Amino acid sequence: MLYIDEQLMQPIIWIAIVGIAAAGLTTGFLNTNTFTLIAQDLASAEVTLVSPVDTVRVDFEITKIQDVSVSGTPIFKNQISKCSFHSDDDLGATSKIICKLSDMQGDIVAEGFLDLKKTYTNSLKTYITISQVAFLNANDVQNINDVKIIILGVNPVQLAANP
């Protein structure tokens, strides 16, 4: 029969308990299981928030840029320079349209936005310049996996206050 010295096991058990407790305390802020809250389904005071559009179509403007390969030979790269946004719905003059480009991991690597100065009328093609990139050549077409269009419509509280 195998006998284990009790004095040898006590420190090992305490180290295991402390390790498990420390791991349990530190995973709270690292936990990425979050939920998405869709604001259009909530109510604000007496005004129900609704989506500013039903359908959106997106195209891209691709720009060819010249670069140098690792071996020093000249090469061309295709970059997404603009998102082309169009919808069948009208948008108010204070709306904002944001185009976000994400990579294979789902990280946003490039984006641009457009503040509407006048009312957007349906099916009018509008261009959103990609103005921010996370790193050099982040908006290269080889890096982009998905596009997200976010529309911040006219503030419904302002609409209710000024009918």
pLDDT tens for each residue of 17-57 = 655 555 554 444 444 444 444 444 445 544 555 678 888 88
**Is the pLDDT reported for residue 157 higher than 60?**
no
Domains of the chain: 44-161 (2.60.40)
**Is the pLDDT reported for residue 3 higher than 70?**
no
The whole-model pTM stands at 0.63
**Who has greater pLDDT, 108 or 122?**
108
Query: Edge-to-edge strand order for the sheet containing 108-115?
Result: 132-133, 108-115, 96-102, 146-152
| The predicted structure's pLDDT at residue 91 | 86
Q: CA-CA distance, 35 to 117, in Å (whole number)?
A: 33
On whether the CB atoms of residues 108 and 65 are closer than 8 A, the answer is: no
Confidence of residue 161 (pLDDT cuts 50, 70, 90): low
On whether the CB atoms of residues 13 and 7 are closer than 8 A, the answer is: no
What burial class does residue 132 get, using C-beta atoms within 10 Å of its C-beta: 0-12 exposed, 13-18 middle, 19+ buried? middle
**Is the pLDDT reported for residue 136 higher than 60?**
yes
| The predicted structure's pLDDT at residue 17 | 64
| The predicted structure's pLDDT at residue 9 | 55
**Is the pLDDT reported for residue 159 higher than 80?**
no
